A = this chain, B = another copy of it.
Amino acid sequence: MSETQSDRESGTQFIPKFDDKGLLSAVVTDAESGRVLMVAFMDEEALSATQQTGEAHFHSRSRGKLWKKGESSGNVLKVEEMLVDCDQDAIVLRCRPAGPTCHTGATSCFYRRLEDGILQPVKS
């Protein structure tokens, strides 16, 4: 195991491992219920903005720029805790949402389950 990999896995230093596009996976969970609310990506800019403001920021792959969650809807995500995985290429943001997280108005973007190849509503 390389020194960096060992440092990443067992050390106390935050050394985010961005992919070849400069991104980390970011999973938002509800700090109260633990439910997964959304999944997105963060680049260095989004990570820094999130740490500085305490509100979740992401990198929009489709728009190619920084995106503050809730910037238009007002449904911001207040970050209670940030968890980092073993190889530091993914982050869980435990958040308190100001409103529905999904742009469809659903509490979570994961409002459907796959059952025998068909999407069915999840009981919320």
Q: Which residues of A contact B (CB under 8 A)?
A: 9-14, 19, 25, 27, 29, 33-36, 38-39, 61, 81-87, 90, 92, 102-104, 106, 109-114, 117-120, 122
Contact = CB atoms under 8 A, between A and B. Distances in A.
Given A14-B119, A25-B39, A34-B35, 4 more contacts: A34-B34, A39-B90, A83-B112, A83-B114
Contact of A27 (B13, B39, B82, B102): B39
Contacts of A120: 12
A13 B109 CA distance: 16
Number of copies: 2
B36 A119 contact: no
A104 to B, nearest CB: 6
Contacts of A118: 12-14
Nearest to A9: B104
A71 B117 CA distance: 25
Given A12-B120, A25-B39, A104 B84 contact: no
B110 A12 contact: no
